Amino acid sequence: MQVPKILKTISTHLQKQNAKAIIVGGSVRDHFVKLPSKDVDIEVYGLENMEMLEELLSQFGTVNLVGKSFGVLKFTYEGEEYDFSFPRTEQKVGQGHRGFDVSVDGHLAYEEAAKRRDFSINALGYEIEEEKFLDPFGGLEDIKTQKLRHIDDDTFVEDPLRVYRAVQFCARFGYSLAEETFALCKYMVEQGMLEELPRERVYVEWKKLLLKAPKPSIGFELMRDLGILERYFPELYALIAVPQSPKWHPEGDVWIHTMMCVDAMTALLGEDEKHNLKMMFAILCHDLGKAVSTIVDEEGNIRSIGHEMTGLALTKSLISRLTQEHNFIETILPLVEHHLKPSQFYAGKAKAAAIRRLATKVNIEELVIVAKADFLGRTTQEALTGVYEAGEWLLDESKELKVENKPLDNLLQGRDLITLGMTPSPRFKIILDEVYVLQLEGKITSTKEAVDFVIGKFLT
């Protein structure tokens, strides 16, 4: 395992004090699952107190004492930050993630300290000086068999967030949940243990599922099997068994389609995490309205007329249960509302005016991404080609009109009206709005034309 040089230096100094440094947690796990790891956490065994560790670390870099009361020191060296901690045990004394009595003990055995961790793959350690891996609970075997297995029943249930961690880990690594872990997680859901979790903590795990998993559907299917969707996210649960027209959706019901869309979206994401999260939520929610809008007529035709509108309230309801970032939620709603437009506009060869008007309601570039994931999340012959002609056409058209990621700029401003000798009043908005509508229709294409129109209609 690659170890930063500074950690080797610190390890050598610790050994001189009959102590040792062990890399723990995610970075060791990621070494074996062959994923990059940003955070490196180190547990120090054999020192009498935190002051001794603080004094040693201060010789090499900057030490932040923010977590000292919990046995954690943040150490910074050449811009890189590392968490150094003493081994500890935790005892549940109250509700929530703060309801733990933490006991720090530098002489605790590694196995005893690792017992507080959630899964066997997260209990792996690497002893720096001896260059030796520590695996007290069979984590390496579980990695080999691609199983996610909890360590201890009693410690696992003390933090119900671990159920959501199980979901996102299984999706990120493509693992299956061990039978005993599945049974315990299901029991925790049924007993209502997850209800003590604040939405902020749940949201963190959802973000990892949506942004880090190659196939987020694995996590959503697991939430379905564990009873999480039915109990906590009924908007998604309601999609199960909702029929769709086999002509447009031969893949199956709305749930199956949505899961395929979510997986398809992962290949369309960029580098901006917030933008990616918006895209993932938009595609997850795009067909929520079908649960309440789908009908089967007398001839057996399946229709979901207006589902893009009925889905708006359901989208708000679902995401608001995870976050109170209202502005963020509002940016998702137009993508849900207009997700059918690219295909509709392409089929009807929409005119420039319609495309300009669409750009005043939604970011067309983002809309095409959502619509493409919707297109790819099915098994029609067209979708299997991977080429979304409607999206490409609309994007080309909108670029030519210079409205692909923002509405048309107003050619006329209030200051132009003042220059014409008009006095500011509520009438200004009426005039400017009328001019802008003519812009969208392509009837006014320059500021001069806009000014001439105002003079001709309002000043003569």
Q: Which DSSP string corresponds to 181-226?
A: HHHHHHHHHHTTGGGGS-HHHHHHHHHHHHHH-S-THHHHHHHHHH
Per DSSP, the three-state class of 262 is helix
DSSP secondary structure, 352-418, as one string: HHHHHHHHTTS-HHHHHHHHHHHHHSS-SHHHHHT--HHHHHHHHHHHHTT-SSSPPPPS--HHHHH
Instruction: Give the tokens for residue 241.
Output: 């068994």
Instruction: Say what the pLDDT of residue 67 is.
Output: 64
- The Cα 155–Cα 135 span in angstroms is 18
**Which CATH number characterizes residue 197's domain?**
1.10.110.30
Based on the fold, state whether residues 265 and 338 are members of the same structural domain.
yes
Q: Residue 90: its pLDDT value, please? A: 64
Residues 206 and 295 in one domain: no
Pairing of strands 125-127, 132-134: antiparallel
> What is the Cα–Cα distance from 53 to 73, expressed in whole angstroms?
9
User: Which of 205, 228, 251 is at the close of a domain?
Assistant: 228
| Strand ranges (E), 186-327 | 295-296, 302-303
Phi, psi angle pair for 146, to nearest 5°: 55, 50
Say yes or no: 294 and 239 in one domain: yes
Which of these three, 186, 204, 228, is where a domain ends?
A: 228
Element (H, E) at 177: strand 176-177
User: Along the 460 residues of the chain, how does pLDDT read in single tens digits?
Assistant: 899 999 999 999 999 999 999 999 899 999 999 988 888 999 999 998 889 999 999 999 999 887 656 678 999 999 999 999 998 776 655 565 555 566 778 889 999 999 989 999 999 999 999 999 999 999 999 999 999 999 999 999 999 999 999 999 999 999 999 999 999 999 999 999 999 999 999 999 999 999 999 999 999 999 999 999 999 999 999 999 999 999 999 999 999 999 999 999 999 999 999 999 999 999 999 999 999 999 999 899 999 999 999 999 999 999 999 999 999 999 999 999 999 999 999 999 999 999 999 999 999 999 999 999 999 999 999 999 999 999 999 999 999 999 999 999 999 999 999 999 999 999 999 999 999 999 999 999 999 999 999 999 999 8
For residues 370 and 396, membership in a common domain is answered with yes
Residue 101's pLDDT is: 60
Q: What value does the CA radius of gyration of the chain take, rounded to a whole number of Å?
A: 28
In this structure, what token pair is assigned to residue 390? 């409607």
Q: Looking at the structure, do residues 164 and 96 belong to the same domain, yes or no?
A: no
Contact 32, 2 (CB under 8 A): no
339 and 449 in a single domain? The answer is no
* Residue-wise burial string across 300-311, b where 16 or more C-beta atoms lie within 10 A, e elsewhere: eebebeebbebb
Can you give the pLDDT at residue 88? 79
- Do 239 and 382 share a domain, yes or no? yes
Q: 298 and 400: one domain?
A: yes
Q: Which domain holds residue 422?
A: 414-458
Given 408, 429, 448, which residue is the final one in a domain? 408
Phi, psi for 234 (deg, rounded to 5): -60, -25
Q: Which candidate, 286, 290, 284, places its Cα nearest to that of 266?
A: 284
Q: What is the pTM of this model?
A: 0.92
CATH number, domain at 29? 3.30.460.10
Do 386 and 432 share a structural domain?
no
114 and 185 both lie in a single domain: no
Same domain, 386 and 256: yes
Residue 304: name the closest of 274, 267, 347, 339 by CA: 339
Cα separations in angstroms, 74 against 29, 64, 84, 108, 136: 21, 5, 6, 21, 26
Query: Does residue 237 share a domain with residue 210?
Result: no
**Tally of domains within the chain:** 4
